[in-house]
Structures are given as structure tokens and as C-alpha cells.
């Protein structure tokens, strides 16, 4: 934390109000950032964090209120204009061209003084300099497609720094990172702040917020409900401020008698996109009433395993049984009918159709079946009623069931998918990263729903990179490393360190 007295804020947002049809997204928000500070914006899904930052970045115009940079009022009318005022935004969905190099990506859109090629040399030199100064470890001549998610993010940071960003907006930068990548990028953020920049950080992970922030502003329903610091607040206080009530950070799980094995996987081999085996001889068995957690660092075969179970990827060898039926070579539709519900990792890509409205996504997978469809005609009355019930039951925050799904906040899209998948009353529930990007109130709800499946006799598999989530939810924990299961531990015998070691390739002590 900076020890010298604070200079006047580099950024002041005063009385910002923004309305969308049916939603007051920002309600007279005051928000300041000082030089040298990491200022966190905390709030539930739909609280208005991204909206406030999109206003700052010139993507939206506020209906009311003003923005001052270094004490002077500004009108930010476009991202290009915001950039010229020293504002940079690291988007969660990276805006990089995979077939170009790092330097070419950074150079894109710069006003060229000479030719693109002569510029590239200058650009590369400056990239190396910035990379050195802030410990970014980015090489100008690497192609983007060769880089990991964490490296791509660092390229986005370089891009903003190259354009002399002094205020950096980081909207959920850690949602896509592994725990060790988070540590690395936090060191970088700290250095950027110590160098006199102002950082706006958005995250749903309370421990991260406490570790990184100098200041924390909490938003609820578009309004500021608190300003605090890590010294003054703990995880429970922050949760309370965000949600307005006490939040359970782990679900209650009643003891349950397990039944027969509803998911049986034997010696499964699955190829990844690169053509090599991503899943190498996996055996798993999950019983009715049981939750099996699969922990592991991303890129160790988890998505390929999930896609094979769901029928989106054909295994090379081995077998998968769901509820006693061999489903290895079934289509995704047939697998659903055999009793699988699937909550995919990439919710915008595989979970919903963004352009469809809420009710259409609620029946996305069974629109061809009664009671939604009779004699080839959709039964709109039934569809409306069913969607309205689910929106209510699962507290999906949306102006109506006719709202275009992509306008919902991330956590609410996830609740929509959970509602659809659980209302199918599955035999086997497969959920990948079920609470990634989801606020703690919604995460609590989703965890309760998954835990509640045990009493219904569902066999659940939860794949997650969030170790706390796996430890809190699972009855047994399997750890995946390089396509293999390193071991399976009962929840009561699991410790963070033993699971963490297995995540890096150590065998289980004795499981
Ligand atoms: N372009 C848009 N059109 C209509 N409504 C929108 C639009 N963008 C955001 N909203 C609505 O404004 C509210 C605030 O959304 P915002 O994306 O700012 O939330 P958030 O705090 O970033 O949530 P999350 O943590 O889920 O990312 C939500 O109710 C959302 O549905
Ligand atoms: Mg957001």
C-alpha cells in the first residue's frame, strides 16, 4: 500500500447512472482511483461492474453523471478516445489475432509513422523493454496461437501499456487462469501499480480481492453499498456487503446412502485437438447419491474427458456406461436421453445460443419433445409457463423471459443453464467449472443445487480448477494430470496440499 499521502484521484466517476430497458445498471455511482492503487469493484452478477467500466472505456455513454481525469471533466465517446486518454481495458475474451505474432498484434491499429515493417522492429524492441520492466515474459516473435491463456493475457497487458495506459481496467482477469498463473499476474499488477498506474480489478474470488486490493468498492443492484479495504474486512464481511445477507461459503451436505454405479468409465482414451491422446486410460465409477470431484490444472485432459462423456468427442478406446447402458458411441441427444445432464465449461459457446431469448434457451435441448412440441408445433403457452417457473425457482436475474440471452450477466447465464439441466432430472450430472465467473451468492445457490442432487440419487461429476470448490462439494476427489487419474481420495482424507501435489503429477499417498 502506498505510504505517502495520496495525490488527487487520477480518475473520478461522479453520480454515474446508466439505464438499459428494464434495468437500472448503474445508479448514481461514485468511484475514484488514485495513482499507485489497485481498486477492486466487487459485486454480484448483474451488479453493474462491467457497465461502469464500459462507460469508462467509451463503449457505453452514461445517462447521467460525469467523469474527471486528473481533475478535468472528459467525455469519452469511443474506446479509441478512451485509449488516447490513457485508459486501457483487458477484456476477458481476448481480442488478439491467433495467426499473427505478438508484435504484429501490438502494432495493429497503431498509427503508422513509416511502413508497417519498419514499425515492427521498433514495436518489438519496446515490447522487450516493457516485458523486462514488468516481468511479463512475452516474446515479440511468438505467434498468438502458440501461447497459453495466461500468456495471451500478458500480450493484452503489453498492448495496453504500449499505448501508454495509466488506468488499466481488468475485468475478471483471473477467471481463466490457473492458480500459479494468478500468482504471476498478481506480481505484475502490483508492479504496474507501484509504477504509478491506477488499476481497476474485478473478481468474484474474495481471497484474491483481499490479497491484491488497496481499496474495495462494493456494488449492489447498481448502487455503491460500501467502500472498504482488506485491513478492515474479511471474506465474510465482503460477502455480506455484496449480497446483503450472510452467505455460506460451503454447502451443507447431509449424509446420503449411495446406490448403484450410474456412471462407469473403463480404460478410456480420447484424442485432443492436436491429435494426440488427451485422456489416457481413465477409469472412473460414480454411484447414485455421490459427487465425484475432478481436480486438476487446466490442459490436463478434463475438457476432452467431459466432451467424451457428453458425446461431443468420440473416444478412441474404452467404454462409458450411463445408467447401465453403453453410451460410448451414442450421439449427444441419445446420451441425454440415457440420463445425462451436461453443464459445459464454455457456457457461451456450448451452453446457450446468445442470440436466442431466455425461454428459447430454457428449452434448447428438448424443444422437439412433448409437452413443448406436439405434432411438429411448438406449444408456446407451455414454454412460457415452464421458463417463467424456472427463472423464478433458480433466481435468474433477467427483465423477462423474452430478453436476449447475451445481455444477461455471466452468472445469470450460468444459472439459466443449471435450471435447464437440473430440471431434466438427470441420472448423471456432469458439470464443468460450474461457478467460474459466478458471484458468491449464485455460487452458493449452484453448490446447494448440486449437493441437493445427492438426495435425489443422481451421480454427479464436478470438474473444477477451483480447489476450494472441489474440496467443499465432493464426496471423493479424483486428480487428473496429463490425461491420467493420479489418485482418488475421500473428501475427509483430502488436504489442499495433498491434492495440490497430485495436481502437479505426484501419485496419491495411498488411496
Ligand atoms: N447491452 C445491454 N443491454 C441490456 N442490458 C444490459 C446490457 N449490458 C448489461 N445489461 C444489464 O445491466 C445489468 C448490469 O450488468 P453488468 O454486465 O454490468 O453486471 P456485472 O456486475 O458485470 O455482472 P457479472 O459479475 O455477471 O459480470 C444486468 O442486469 C445486465 O443484464
Ligand atoms: Mg461483468
Q: Are residues 175 and 63 in the same domain?
A: yes
Kindly identify the ligand whose nearest atom is closest to the C-alpha of 222.
Answer: 1
Work out which ligand 1 atom sits closest to the CA atom of 21: 4
pTM of the model: 0.74
Task: Tell me the CATH number at 187.
Answer: 3.40.50.300
- For residues 242 and 218, the answer to whether their CB atoms sit within 8 Å is yes
Q: Which of 44, 45, 51 to probe ligand 1 with, by most ligand atoms within 8 A of CB?
A: 51
Q: What is the pLDDT of residue 403?
A: 94
Ligand 1 and 20: CB distance under 6 A = yes
In a domain, 6, yes or no: no
Work out which ligand 1 atom sits closest to the CA atom of 51: 18
Ligand 1 and 51: CB distance under 6 A = yes
Q: What is the pLDDT of residue 322?
A: 98
- The torsion defined by the Cα of 142, 146, 147 and 152, in degrees rounded to 10, comes to 70
Ligand 1 geometric centre to CA of 180 (Å): 30
Q: Are residues 253 and 238 in the same domain?
A: no
Work out which ligand 1 atom sits closest to the CA atom of 172: 27
Reduced to 3 states (helix: H, G, I; strand: E, B; else coil), residue 65 is strand
Ligand 1 and 407: CB distance under 6 A = yes
Query: How many percent of the chain have pLDDT more than 70?
Result: 93
C-alpha cell at 122: 521498433
In a domain, 439, yes or no: no
Residues 6+ apart with CB under 8 A from 432: 302, 303, 306, 343, 344, 345, 463, 464
Residue 214 structural domain: 11-243
Give residue-wise pLDDT tens across range 433-442: 998 878 888 8
481 phi/psi in degrees, rounded to 5: -145, 125
In a domain, 450, yes or no: no
Ligand 1 and 171: CB distance under 6 A = no
Ligand 1 and 9: CB distance under 6 A = no
Q: Are residues 373 and 484 in the same domain?
A: no
Report the alpha-carbon distance of residue 157 to residue 178 in Å, rounded: 17
Q: What is the pLDDT of residue 275?
A: 87
Q: Are residues 24 and 163 in the same domain?
A: yes
In a domain, 88, yes or no: yes
In a domain, 449, yes or no: no
Boundary (domain end) residue, out of 213, 243, 273:
243
Work out which ligand 1 atom sits closest to the CA atom of 52: 18
Q: Are residues 278 and 360 in the same domain?
A: no
Boundary (domain end) residue, out of 407, 425, 443:
425
Q: Which residue has the cell 500500500?
A: 1
- For residues 217 and 31, the answer to whether their CB atoms sit within 8 Å is yes
In a domain, 145, yes or no: yes
Ligand 1 and 410: CB distance under 6 A = yes
Work out which ligand 1 atom sits closest to the CA atom of 26: 14
In a domain, 198, yes or no: yes
| Alpha helical stretches, state H, 14-101 | 49-56, 79-84
Ligand 1 geometric centre to CA of 222 (Å): 9
| Nearest Cα residue to atom 8 of ligand 1 | 407
Ligand 1 geometric centre to CA of 26 (Å): 9
Q: Which residues of the chain have pLDDT under 70?
A: 1-7, 92-93, 111-118, 365-375, 508-511
Q: Are residues 173 and 276 in the same domain?
A: no
Q: Which of 16, 17, 19, 20 to probe ligand 1 with, by most ligand atoms within 8 A of CB?
A: 20
In a domain, 446, yes or no: no
Report the alpha-carbon distance of residue 306 to residue 471 in Å, rounded: 19
Ligand 1 and 27: CB distance under 6 A = no
Work out which ligand 1 atom sits closest to the CA atom of 60: 1
Give residue-wise pLDDT tens across range 193-217: 999 999 999 998 888 999 999 999 9
Ligand 1 geometric centre to CA of 363 (Å): 23
Ligand 1 and 450: CB distance under 6 A = no
Report the alpha-carbon distance of residue 110 to residue 84 in Å, rounded: 11
Q: Are residues 369 and 418 in the same domain?
A: yes
Q: What is the pLDDT of residue 511?
A: 47
| Nearest Cα residue to atom 25 of ligand 1 | 45
Q: Are residues 231 and 267 in the same domain?
A: no
Boundary (domain end) residue, out of 227, 243, 259:
243
Kindly identify the ligand whose nearest atom is closest to the C-alpha of 416.
Answer: 1
Q: What is the pLDDT of residue 372?
A: 67
Ligand 1 and 48: CB distance under 6 A = yes
Q: Are residues 197 and 307 in the same domain?
A: no
Q: Are residues 58 and 201 in the same domain?
A: yes
Q: Are residues 80 and 179 in the same domain?
A: yes
Report the alpha-carbon distance of residue 82 to residue 266 in Å, rounded: 55
Q: Are residues 47 and 158 in the same domain?
A: yes
H or E element in which residue 335 lies:
helix 332-338
Ligand 2 geometric centre to CA of 79 (Å): 17
Ligand 1 and 35: CB distance under 6 A = no
Identify the CA nearest to 313 among candidates 271, 261, 281.
271
Q: Which of 40, 50, 62, 417 to probe ligand 1 with, by most ligand atoms within 8 A of CB?
A: 50
Q: Which of 13, 22, 24, 25 to probe ligand 1 with, by most ligand atoms within 8 A of CB?
A: 25
Q: What is the pLDDT of residue 366?
A: 65
| Counted domains in the chain | 3
- For residues 57 and 66, the answer to whether their CB atoms sit within 8 Å is no
Amino acid at each position: 500500500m502506498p505510504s505517502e499521502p495520496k495525490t488527487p484521484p487520477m480518475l473520478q466517476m461522479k453520480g454515474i447512472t446508466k439505464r438499459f430497458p428494464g434495468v437500472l445498471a448503474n445508479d448514481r455511482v461514485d468511484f475514484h482511483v488514485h495513482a499507485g492503487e489497485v481498486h477492486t469493484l466487487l459485486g454480484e452478477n448483474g451488479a453493474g461492474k462491467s457497465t461502469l467500466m464500459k462507460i469508462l472505456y467509451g463503449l457505453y455513454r452514461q445517462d447521467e453523471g460525469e467523469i474527471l481525469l486528473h481533475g478535468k471533466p472528459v467525455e469519452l465517446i469511443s474506446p479509441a478516445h478512451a485509449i488516447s486518454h490513457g485508459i486501457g481495458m483487458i477484456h476477458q475474451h481476448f481480442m488478439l489475432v491467433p495467426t499473427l505474432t505478438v508484435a504484429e498484434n501490438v502494432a495493429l491499429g497503431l498509427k503508422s509513422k513509416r511502413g508497417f515493417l519498419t514499425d515492427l522492429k521498433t514495436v518489438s524492441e519496446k515490447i522487450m523493454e516493457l516485458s523486462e520492466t514488468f516481468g511479463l515474459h512475452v516474446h515479440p516473435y511468438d505467434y498468438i496461437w502458440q501461447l497459453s491463456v495466461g500468456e495471451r493475457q500478458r500480450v493484452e497487458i503489453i498492448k495496453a501499456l504500449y499505448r501508454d495506459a495509466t488506468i488499466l481496467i481488468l475485468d475478471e482477469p483471473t477467471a481463466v487462469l490457473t492458480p500459479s498463473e494468478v500468482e504471476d499476474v498478481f506480481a505484475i499488477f502490483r508492479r504496474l501499480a507501484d509504477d504509478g498506474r491506477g488499476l481497476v480489478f474485478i473478481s468474484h474470488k474474495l481471497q484474491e480481492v483481499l490479497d491484491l486490493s488497496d481499496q474495495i468498492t462494493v456494488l449492489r443492484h447498481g448502487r455503491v453499498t460500501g467502500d472498504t479495504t482488506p485491513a478492515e474486512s474479511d471474506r465474510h464481511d465482503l460477502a455480506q456487503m455484496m449480497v446483503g445477507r450472510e452467505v455460506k461459503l460451503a454447502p451443507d451436505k447431509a449424509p446420503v446412502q449411495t446406490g448403484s454405479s450410474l456412471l462407469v468409465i473403463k480404460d478410456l482414451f480420447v484424442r485432443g485437438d492436436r491429435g494426440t491422446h488427451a485422456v489416457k486410460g481413465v477409469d472412473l465409477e460414480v454411484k447414485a447419491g455421490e459427487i465425484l470431484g475432478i481436480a486438476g490444472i487446466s490442459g490436463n485432459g478434463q475438457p476432452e474427458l467431459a466432451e467424451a462423456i457428453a458425446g461431443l468427442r468420440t473416444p478412441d478406446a474404452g467404454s462409458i456406461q450411463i445408467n447401465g447402458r453403453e453410451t460410448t458411441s451414442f450421439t449427444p441427444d441419445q446420451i441425454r436421453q440415457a440420463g445425462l445432464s451436461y453443464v459445459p465449461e464454455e457456457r457461451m459457446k456450448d451452453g446457450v445460443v446468445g442470440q436466442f431469448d431466455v425461454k428459447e434457451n430454457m428449452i434448447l435441448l428438448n424443444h422437439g419433445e412433448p409437452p413443448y412440441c406436439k405434432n411438429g408445433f411448438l406449444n408456446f403457452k407451455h414454454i412460457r409457463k415452464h421458463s417463467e417457473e424456472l427463472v423464478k425457482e433458480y433466481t435468474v436475474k433477467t427483465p423477462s423471459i423474452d430478453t436476449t440471452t447475451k445481455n444477461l450477466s455471466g452468472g445469470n447465464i450460468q444459472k439459466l443453464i443449471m435450471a435447464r439441466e437440473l430440471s431434466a432430472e438427470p441420472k448423471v450430472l456432469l458439470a464443468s467449472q460450474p461457478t467460474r465467473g459466478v458471484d458468491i451468492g449464485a455460487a452458493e445457490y449452484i453448490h446447494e443445487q448440486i449437493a441437493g442432487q445427492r438426495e435425489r440419487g443422481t451421480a454427479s461429476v464436478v470438474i473444477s480448477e477451483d480447489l476450494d470448490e472441489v474440496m467443499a462439494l465432493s464426496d471423493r476427489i479424483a486428480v487428473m494430470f496429463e490425461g491420467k487419474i493420479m489418485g482418488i481420495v475421500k473428501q475427509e482424507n483430502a488436504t489442499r496440499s495433498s491434492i495440490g501435489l497430485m495436481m502437479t503429477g505426484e501419485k496419491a499417498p495411498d488411496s
